[in-house]
Structure 1
Amino acid sequence: MDHPQGVPRSLSYPEAPLYRILENSVVKYPKRTAIIYYGRRISYSELWEQSLRVASSLMEMGLEKGDRVALLMPNIPQFIIAYFGILASGCIAAPLNPLNPRGELQRELSELDARILIALDRFMDRLPRGDWELYLAEAEKYLPLHLRVLTHLRRRGVKRGEKARGFKELLEASPRRPEVEIEPREDLAVILYTGGTTGPPKGVMHTHYSLMANALQTYHWTRGWGEAHKPYPAGWPHVVSAVPFFHSYGLTVALHEPILAGATLILTPRPEAEEIMRAIERYRATHLPATPRIIREIVNHPRVESYNLGSLMLSVTGGAHLEWETAERFMRLTGARLHHGYGLTEAGPVTHCTPLDREPRPGSVGFPLPDTEFRLVDLETGRYDVPRGRPGELVVRGPQLMRGYWRRPGETERALRGGWLYTGDVAILDDGGWLYILGRREERIVAEGHALWPGEVEELLRSHPGVEEAAVVGVADPMRCAMDVQAVVVPRPGYGEELIPSLLALCRERLESHKVPSRILIVEELPRTSLGKIDRRGVRMLLESSPRPNVGEGEGPYGEKNR
């Protein structure tokens, strides 16, 4: 493997609390804008002072090191202020997904034994009941005055509730520098819940050290953000922070790493294409951490050509596959370099990324970050390395790994074996050392005695001009004791059921017979998890419950014509 030029193979990680990334940037750039929120600017020194006020309030309330404080907010200033205040107090921050149903929020809050919940007031009607103290934040409090007035006039009286307090009460204490002693390698900083694609979401425990390590690894992978193929409009990075902070990818790449770099964060609470493009143009943003879905929505937006996106220099995606044609269109539209990474909540999350010193290879997630080791092991026992070009389960080792799952020792033991994290993802390695993710172990489909992964079929379906999104799963046919390859497709405007014959023809032309879907269902939207990933269990249930007249019948080995 040819390691990227300018990127150290190994780094020195400070034995320091995670909040030090903010404190250090305050020392270096006290007057620099840390946050832009719909035109309102908050400097690094203001951000740190307000975070210290929250820390002081928590300690005055009697919270101790290791107590859990939950956050239920989108990407608004109060999230960042509360988050670093929690870390500075020695407590553990637990960002929760606001899109979760009330029952799941109740389960997670109870499992955490959360002492305090800090939530957006607009979520009040969805909050479960519990013994925690509730503080409600108003998103408009940090807007510029004119927008605050307009928002207040439109507001329909969000009820706070008898026991709830306002976020501003957390800012009334005097700002004091933290006196809590933190052991970075031992003390937990954050508990993040997984997406729940294979079962109930699990709480992933990360120490101050593991998250500090991943922030530094990603920072150095981009050469300290000093590599630039065009000038910085303001002289330093301006980052559109649209990926939610409650997601591990958003927390590291859209919050920790930019704060470490002294960047300006442009907060976009609604990660929608129009809002993101507007932010890029207005503030001349240079960096966009994104998901493949965000990139697709920008590229396919009907007014994309009307926005000036030329200030963008770098975008990194992760979390799912991005077809190469879409990536190329994005790079042509923006002039930015687009790179793809891989990771999972249990690994901080980033372990791999395509290098900046060469063109990425379509479909690859690149090379491992500094101090990150990986292997591909056999799918049967997980004990033997597989040769290059053969699929195997990806296992990783590095300083960014989790401590384990919160109060789940059995599952921790199964995931962490001998210092290696078994990711559950199947990958292959090419002769040049580039890594390619095929899919999750449990997504593997065995059709006509052959193993296949949905990604290959999905990418082909998405290449059709009439297809917006596609999902492929294996559906059991008990009558034949076999597995069918079946697909669900979201059409683009102007397309409908007439897509099915052309899609089947495309698959028959490009795929081996056992990979051709036996059924294609046209739907308005795909089932998704609360983190926005395709919910394959939901897709399977949709197909199993769909009447036959609404689907297309393929010519795969078990299609109607071959039965």
Structure 2
Amino acid sequence: MENKPWLQHYPDAIPKTIEIEEKSLQQFLVETAKKYPTKVALHFNGKEMTYQEVYESALKFANYLKSIGIQKGDRVAIMLPNTPQSFISFFGVLLAGGIIVQTNPMYTEREVAYQMKDSGAKAIIALDILYPRITKVQNETDLEHIIITAIKDYLPFPKNLIYPFIQKKQYGFSVKVEHGGNIHLFTEIMKAPPLEDPILDVNFDEDLAILQYTGGTTGFPKGVMLTHKNLVANAKMCETWLYKCEEGKEVVLGALPFFHVYGMTTVLILSVLQGSKVVLIPKPEPEVLLKAIQSQKVTMFPGAPTMYIGLLNHPDLQKYDLSSIDSCISGSATLPVEVQEQFENLTGGKLVEGYGLTEASPVTHANLLWDGERIKGSIGIPWPNTLAEIRDLETDEPLPPGEVGELVVKGPQVMKGYWNRPEDTEETLRDGWLYTGDLGYMDEKGYFYIVDRKKDMIIASGFNIYPREIEEVLYEHPAVQEAVVAGIPDPYRGETVKAYIVLKEDHSVTEKEMDKFARKHLAAYKVPRLYEFRDELPKTTVGKILRRQLVEEERKKLEQQTDEKQA
């Protein structure tokens, strides 16, 4: 207990260690389809599929992959939003013995080409509107087969007839793809017989299930090698943490994209493990989420802070009944305390902050939802079977409570390494410990706090300044909807603090007023020197604000000003 003070906070319902049965990820679907064959697994724009239907479809997809030459260990890319096809193909690839390469549908041609080349993917499944993008780069890659599907393929009548017209209006073009040669239509694949001998047995510790690429905020994205053990362990930990969720009874909002590891584990994999119904949301806009929560009586809503902020600031919020929500774990970015309190008051459910990263499948910490102490502003305590320490940046020695250093974690959910990057693996994984790159501290009770990314820390006039602390203060201002703080170059201070703010609708505030507010709550050296009000902030697909993009914009501005002066 001395080195794991957090264990004293575990309620009786959460064991300190859990047994992780050695089974493949695809075995979850096999078992759930057998246990709940007629239970609704997926709801998509009015169309529903049972677990038996999903399993049979996955077996058909697996059989087709084998028929076109996909063998055990081959990589298959999935470039889809949250649709039935993304669910089916995920398990279909695994049942065929393949390794999934999750690919963001918003990727540009350059990004697609890089990921396909780096992973060596032999096949890709994508939406019809992405077909031109893929064909333009196919010759640069190892891609032998392109599988095409469309949103309309799983829409109920008459939406399936109307959607192509909506799509053409939205994108300005439509794509017609013929089935033949190395081009395959998903609708034709579903006519194939199911695979009779699916691959269920794997080398639990060594065999990869997923190649999950990091966001690439620094340098090129790296393929994170996640084994069956990594993902099964994290899903079982998640199930243990959510001990009041009832097997076969939960309705989960599938708003987090499955191509992001957080959505993949906490929605897709966990839902199959527990036999939950998933309400698939391919484009998580606030009004779409509100309607889905009310109509489907959603009980569980894993999300990102921007999703909760978007709902809270929707002008028609009061028209919707969100009282079915019972549990929410927020990840991908810092959860402002104000947002947590407002959302809990609105729904009556519990919203807690968790912590994780792609390299850990992804969750390592979370606050307790029901029994036990919840500390707002904290990422909570480590999950079962997970170790965590704060290490000194210089000496690498463990630090005592209260001191800021780098968070390192260890557990069965920690990746095998980076794909074809032994040097990066060696730097990030040391003696089984994953060096997260996040700065934080542990308090006397064993609760952990993140103060910032190691690379995002601002050093102004010799002071270490953590953007998260300033952002928490800015979020307390009644006019602020979103805020992010970054360090930008400054000739005198080295770096200076700049705040980028999105105001709530029908609210206004001046730079002077924001400065006065910040000075009430922050030491003078932490107060933003500059403010920029924007209509929106740059974000990833899961709503994580891209601080580095803002810093890069500032750097380019400075270079341009320098060039103009010299001219």
Shared topology, TM-score over 0.5? yes
**Aligned-partner residue type, residue 473 of structure 2:** L
| Per-residue deviation, residues 424-470 of structure 1 (Å, max 9, x unmatched) | 01111112211111110011112232212101111212221222222
Aligned residues, how many?
A: 537
Answer yes or no: is the 8 Å Cα contact 2:9–2:373 preserved in 1: no
- Aligned mates of 2:510, 2:372 — CA distance in 1: 38
Answer yes or no: is the 8 Å Cα contact 2:257–2:541 preserved in 1: no
- Aligned mates of 1:529, 1:285 — CA distance in 2: 25
| Per-residue deviation, residues 47-96 of structure 1 (Å, max 9, x unmatched) | 00000011111112121111000011000000010110000111001111
Answer yes or no: is the 8 Å Cα contact 2:9–2:372 preserved in 1: no
Secondary structure at the counterpart of residue 224 of structure 2: strand
Secondary structure at the counterpart of residue 535 of structure 2: coil
- Aligned mates of 1:179, 1:537 — CA distance in 2: 44
**Aligned-partner residue type, residue 11 of structure 1:** I
Answer yes or no: is the 8 Å Cα contact 1:136–1:160 preserved in 2: no
**Aligned-partner residue type, residue 377 of structure 1:** R
Matched, 1:361 2:375: yes
- Aligned mates of 1:321, 1:295 — CA distance in 2: 12
Query: What's the Cα RMSD here?
Result: 1.8
- For 1:460, the equivalent position in structure 2 comes to 473
Which piece of structure 1 moves more, 17-26 or 166-175? 166-175
Cα offset, 1:153, TM superposition: 4.7
Residues 152-163 of structure 1 correspond to what in structure 2 (within 5 A)?
152-156=164-168, 158-161=174-177
Cα offset, 1:101, TM superposition: 2.1
Matched, 1:379 2:393: yes
| Per-residue deviation, residues 311-360 of structure 1 (Å, max 9, x unmatched) | 11111111111111211111111111112110000001000111131352
- Aligned mates of 1:3, 1:359 — CA distance in 2: 7
Answer yes or no: is the 8 Å Cα contact 1:521–1:543 preserved in 2: no
- Aligned mates of 1:531, 1:302 — CA distance in 2: 22
Cα offset, 1:279, TM superposition: 0.8
Matched, 1:115 2:122: yes
Which piece of structure 1 moves more, 121-130 or 46-55? 121-130
Answer yes or no: is the 8 Å Cα contact 1:195–1:531 preserved in 2: no
- Aligned mates of 2:58, 2:116 — CA distance in 1: 23
- Aligned mates of 2:9, 2:529 — CA distance in 1: 43
Cα offset, 1:182, TM superposition: 1.8
Secondary structure at the counterpart of residue 536 of structure 2: coil
- For 2:3, the equivalent position in structure 1 comes to none
Instruction: Say which of 310, 313, 321 aligns to 1:308.
Output: 321
- For 1:176, the equivalent position in structure 2 comes to 195
Instruction: Say which of 113, 131, 145 aligns to 1:124.
Output: 131
- For 1:166, the equivalent position in structure 2 comes to 185
**Aligned-partner residue type, residue 496 of structure 2:** D
Q: Relative to 1, partners in 2 of residues 1:152 and 1:446: Cα closer, same or farther, differing over 3 Å?
A: closer
| Per-residue deviation, residues 336-389 of structure 1 (Å, max 9, x unmatched) | 1112110000001000111131352111111111100011001224x2011101
Secondary structure at the counterpart of residue 145 of structure 1: coil
Answer yes or no: is the 8 Å Cα contact 1:100–1:530 preserved in 2: no
- Aligned mates of 2:252, 2:547 — CA distance in 1: 32
| Per-residue deviation, residues 491-528 of structure 1 (Å, max 9, x unmatched) | 223445x5211111111221111101111122222233
Residues 24-423 of structure 1 correspond to what in structure 2 (within 5 A)?
24-127=31-134, 128-130=136-138, 131-156=143-168, 158-161=174-177, 164-180=183-199, 181-223=201-243, 225-226=245-246, 236-356=249-369, 357-381=371-395, 383-423=396-436
- Aligned mates of 2:132, 2:9 — CA distance in 1: 51
- For 1:550, the equivalent position in structure 2 comes to none
Answer yes or no: is the 8 Å Cα contact 1:87–1:189 preserved in 2: yes
Answer yes or no: is the 8 Å Cα contact 1:238–1:264 preserved in 2: yes
Secondary structure at the counterpart of residue 451 of structure 1: strand
- Aligned mates of 1:287, 1:512 — CA distance in 2: 39
Answer yes or no: is the 8 Å Cα contact 2:233–2:413 preserved in 1: yes
Answer yes or no: is the 8 Å Cα contact 2:485–2:498 preserved in 1: yes
Q: Relative to 1, partners in 2 of residues 1:335 and 1:495: Cα closer, same or farther, differing over 3 Å?
A: closer
- For 1:555, the equivalent position in structure 2 comes to none
- Aligned mates of 1:444, 1:49 — CA distance in 2: 50
- Aligned mates of 2:234, 2:267 — CA distance in 1: 12
Q: Relative to 1, partners in 2 of residues 1:153 and 1:442: Cα closer, same or farther, differing over 3 Å?
A: closer
**Aligned-partner residue type, residue 311 of structure 1:** S
Cα offset, 1:267, TM superposition: 0.4
Instruction: Say which of 486, 498, 503 aligns to 1:486.
Output: 498
- Aligned mates of 1:455, 1:510 — CA distance in 2: 14
TM-score (norm 2): 0.91
- Aligned mates of 1:168, 1:527 — CA distance in 2: 36
**Aligned-partner residue type, residue 380 of structure 1:** E
Answer yes or no: is the 8 Å Cα contact 2:332–2:542 preserved in 1: no
- For 2:565, the equivalent position in structure 1 comes to none
- Aligned mates of 2:260, 2:250 — CA distance in 1: 22
**Aligned-partner residue type, residue 517 of structure 1:** P
- Aligned mates of 2:513, 2:66 — CA distance in 1: 64
**Aligned-partner residue type, residue 510 of structure 1:** H
Secondary structure at the counterpart of residue 318 of structure 2: helix
Answer yes or no: is the 8 Å Cα contact 1:504–1:517 preserved in 2: yes
Secondary structure at the counterpart of residue 386 of structure 1: coil
Answer yes or no: is the 8 Å Cα contact 1:37–1:266 preserved in 2: yes
- Aligned mates of 1:209, 1:509 — CA distance in 2: 49
Secondary structure at the counterpart of residue 520 of structure 1: strand
